[in-house]
Structure 1
Amino acid sequence: MSAFESTTVLQETSGRQGARQPHRLFLALILGCLTGLGPFSIDMYLPSLPSLANSFHVNASLAQLSLTSCLFGLAVGQLIAGPISDALGRRRPLLLGLFVYAAAAAMCAKTTSIGLFIAFRFLQGLAGSAGLVIARAIARDYFGGKELTRFFALLMIISGAAPVLAPVTGGQILRFTSWHGVFVVLTLLGIALWLVVLLALPESLPLQRRVQGGLWETVGALGSLITNPEFMGYVLAQGFASAAMFGYIAGSSFVLQEEYKVSPQLFSLIFATNGIGLILAGQAAARVSLRWDEQRALAVALAVAAGGSLALLAAILGRMGLAMVLVSLFVVVAITGAIGTTCSSLALQKQGRVAGSASAWLGVAGMLIGALVSPLVGLGGGRIAVSMAIVILLCHYTGIFSYWLLSRRIRRSKYPVRLSPWPHTKSGDQ
């Protein structure tokens, strides 16, 4: 081990020892809920969109614009909250984000203007993004190497349940109240998480490990990560895998219910089953990483994604029946959990001092690429199933190519470790 590496390890070890670490399962529960705040904000009110449109006397597309504004807020907010948490610590930006999130959700429940509702939804996404990005950074503060991979797999058990439970929860709320009640529940959820963070989540980033130099230095850390080929290889591999998931979400209801005549109840069961598969694949990736290493686990996951997406397209084009389509869909959805677990761990392991900025790029990439490719699912003109399968296949193969081109071809021992070109940033703790 070189002198530089010894100093880096010493800095990280002393930093972790200086922070009081909560119990592992309790920490996973808190961070899982913070990570799931974004999916809950998006999916929980999906069943209420028709009644919301009627309440505001607007068409469906304008009501759906509130969903787009929340997604945009979630993406932009991560690029703000992540770097700020590297400079100011994790707790203050997280507490501020949760406070604004709860306030914005409360305003959504009270407003009578669709314009203001869309604006508050953007603010809600912007503030809620703090939970998404800072939760991953806190995990990196406490764990490294294979332990980080194991913790991300544990985190996925909790956060992965959010997309499955959110629409069901929203539907049950509508049995007793209107769409306003959904945002009252989101307000209470934001307040509850704010209290938990305030009372039970200690600061995980000591002063000596924070980025110094003010706002310009913080922004510089974001920019420097883009010039790191290995890091961007992991980001793009995960980003395109997430985009494939967006393609699945955008097209699966039309494909299964309209083309394969699946009932809404059976579709909900299929959707939930695929979500469980995503969680299980994340656990499997963690176990493989312990026996081999994260690089090999990721390579296997990408190979499965390539084969699964090809099988899905073949099943649809060859009209092989619903069973083959469902098996292929299960594979391409579930393997996202393995790719996300390994890519998140590998991308953050060398970015200890800028874990917030690194976490921001991990979150933003999937959302931005997903936002670009999701509309392509409906542009096929003919069978949506074919266009959905093509989008999923192209996303997976583009992610694989990005990983091979940027990450696998880097000689890590010779890659110059450099945090930022700005003079005030120390190059330790990469």
Structure 2
Amino acid sequence: MDKVINQPTITTNNNTFLITLLALICSIGPLATDMYLPAFPEITAYFTTTPSMVQLTITTWLIGLAVGQIIAGPLSDIYGRQKPLIFSLVFFTISVIACIFSPSIHLFIFARLIGGFAASSALVIGRAIASDVYSGTMLTKFLSTVMIIQGIAPIIAPVLGGQLLLFFPWTSVFVILAFASLIIIVLSACKYKESLPKEKRIRGNLSQVLKIFFSLCARPYFASLCAIQFFIFCSLFAYISGMPFILQGIYGFSPQQFSFVFAFVGVGMMCFGKLTNILTGRVADGKLLFLGLCQGVFFGVLFLIGVLLDLNIYVLIVFLLLSETSLAITAATSFSLAMQTQKKVAGSASALLGFFSSISGSLVAPIVGIGGGTTAVPTALVIALAEIIALCIFLVVTKKYIKKTAEN
């Protein structure tokens, strides 16, 4: 029964265009998160501040990204996908320009908060559009295809950021982000045709939206998948926020060398995204999720042990690669499993899933910052514990409901 749905409303949104647009939309987050990472030491010196204050720019960005999705998701269910998407991207562009001209680290942090809030619409609505159009294993395949293309962003972002720093100041990173946002705005306004027709939109006010959120959170199966998203992204954001200072501060990597490590992991993400695409439909989504979680736990624990034993940095990078690339499997399958049961409130369901995956980063960044560029133990500990907890949630709650659904 896996099929494309709502086909009459999207006749001008061909498959290739949708994949391209959604990949671009979903890449805004990784680009805005990863591209300026090699510039952390330079930004620290520019504002005459501390590494923890610069890491706070990730924290506030992710807080905005998480909270904004809670608002953007229901709005897209009520008003459609296109208008909220364009409106938010315009504000994202303004926030990026504010970052370029910030006179202090405090204003820079505030601009990142607003930018995350605005960019959240792109993430939540991009996923909701996919849910409008596809269902079942087709949705999983589509999401994994988008993830393959989206995987280019984490590869290009730090590499591009590192190369820009060879010739231009750190502000050049945000100039690129502004141009990328403008391109997506033009495509969304001129090429994308609304995928949620008026007759399928929610009619209601704030109280109705709150009821939907509480109803979703009260469903153990959906709530367990939200929790899995939270912890697997805790692992990802521990890697993102901790590794710039670990590689450059402890192991003496240059910004360019650091960016190539990120590219190495990004290539792995793409490969595992392709693997997910191939296996989807041949292996049940629930089993794929379980295998991905096992991969994350096994190599996450090896990374922690390697850090404690002070193994060679390149061995640690391999362990890290094999741990973090599990996200390509777990993120797509857990999101697809959650959305398959929430078609009528796709925007709101996507918002909650996005909230839990984004807010994880804001909580993790200060914890890994405890290392202060002198030890990798906090980062490794968070990665291992987060992967273990996610697997436990699957075994205790999610697996039971997947089995019950299969029996019915």
CA distance in 1, matches of 2:21, 2:233: 23
Q: Contact conserved, 2:73 with 2:348, CA < 8 A, in 1?
A: yes
Q: Contact conserved, 1:233 with 1:404, CA < 8 A, in 2?
A: no
CA distance in 2, matches of 1:365, 1:272: 26
From the superposition, tell whether residues 271 and 226 of structure 1 become closer, same or farther in structure 2 (CA, over 3 Å): same
- Among the aligned pairs, what percent are the same residue? 35
**Map of 1:86 onto structure 2:** 77
**Map of 2:229 onto structure 1:** 238
Amino acid at match of 2:159: V
Could you tell me which of 338, 344, 358 is aligned with 2:349?
Answer: 358
**1:103 and 2:80 aligned:** no
Deviation string 1:331-370 (CA, Å, 9 cap, x unpaired) is 1011111111111111111111211111112222122223
Q: Contact conserved, 2:52 with 2:369, CA < 8 A, in 1?
A: no
From the superposition, tell whether residues 168 and 261 of structure 1 become closer, same or farther in structure 2 (CA, over 3 Å): closer
**Map of 2:259 onto structure 1:** 268
Look up the SS of the partner of 2:199 in the other structure: helix
Could you tell me which of 40, 44, 47 is aligned with 2:35?
Answer: 44
Task: Measure how far apart 1:326 and its partner are.
Answer: 3.0
From the superposition, tell whether residues 212 and 117 of structure 1 become closer, same or farther in structure 2 (CA, over 3 Å): same
Name whichever of 316-325 and 100-109 sits farther off.
316-325
Q: Contact conserved, 2:250 with 2:373, CA < 8 A, in 1?
A: no
From the superposition, tell whether residues 98 and 179 of structure 1 become closer, same or farther in structure 2 (CA, over 3 Å): same
**1:403 and 2:394 aligned:** yes
CA distance in 2, matches of 1:411, 1:301: 16
Could you tell me which of 277, 296, 299 is aligned with 2:268?
Answer: 277
CA distance in 2, matches of 1:217, 1:256: 48
**Map of 2:214 onto structure 1:** 223
Q: Provide TM-score, normalisation by structure 1.
A: 0.85
CA distance in 1, matches of 2:179, 2:373: 44
Q: Which runs of 5+ in 2 are unaligned?
A: none
CA distance in 1, matches of 2:311, 2:175: 46
Question: Superposition pairs for residues 235-384 of structure 1, below 5 Å?
Answer: 235-256=226-247, 265-319=256-310, 321-322=312-313, 324-379=315-370, 384=375
Amino acid at match of 1:187: A
- The runs of at least 4 consecutive aligned structure 1 residues that moved more than 6 Å come to 380-383
CA distance in 2, matches of 1:57, 1:144: 51
**Map of 1:206 onto structure 2:** 197
From the superposition, tell whether residues 382 and 192 of structure 1 become closer, same or farther in structure 2 (CA, over 3 Å): closer
**Map of 1:127 onto structure 2:** 118
From the superposition, tell whether residues 272 and 402 of structure 1 become closer, same or farther in structure 2 (CA, over 3 Å): same
Look up the SS of the partner of 1:354 in the other structure: helix
Deviation string 1:203-257 (CA, Å, 9 cap, x unpaired) is 0111222112223212322222111111122222122111111222233345455
Question: Superposition pairs for residues 163-202 of structure 1, below 5 Å?
Answer: 163-202=154-193
**1:16 and 2:7 aligned:** yes
Q: Which runs of 5+ in 1 are unaligned?
A: 2-8, 416-430
Higher relative contact order (CA 8 A, sep 6+): 2
Q: Provide TM-score, normalisation by structure 2.
A: 0.89
Look up the SS of the partner of 2:344 in the other structure: coil
Q: Contact conserved, 1:82 with 1:359, CA < 8 A, in 2?
A: yes
Deviation string 1:186-212 (CA, Å, 9 cap, x unpaired) is 222222211110011110111222112
Amino acid at match of 2:320: L
Name whichever of 95-104 and 243-252 sits farther off.
243-252
- The number of residue pairs the alignment matches comes to 406
CA distance in 2, matches of 1:381, 1:53: 13
Q: Contact conserved, 2:159 with 2:260, CA < 8 A, in 1?
A: no
Deviation string 1:309-332 (CA, Å, 9 cap, x unpaired) is 232233344455445423321210
Look up the SS of the partner of 1:312 in the other structure: helix
Deviation string 1:26-60 (CA, Å, 9 cap, x unpaired) is 21111111111122222223344455455556555
Task: Measure how far apart 1:138 and its partner are.
Answer: 0.4
**Map of 1:137 onto structure 2:** 128
CA distance in 2, matches of 1:377, 1:105: 26
Task: Measure how far apart 1:161 and its partner are.
Answer: 1.9
CA distance in 1, matches of 2:243, 2:98: 32
Q: Contact conserved, 1:94 with 1:130, CA < 8 A, in 2?
A: yes
Larger radius of gyration: 1
- Computed over aligned residues only, the root mean square deviation of the Cα atoms, in angstroms, reads 2.9
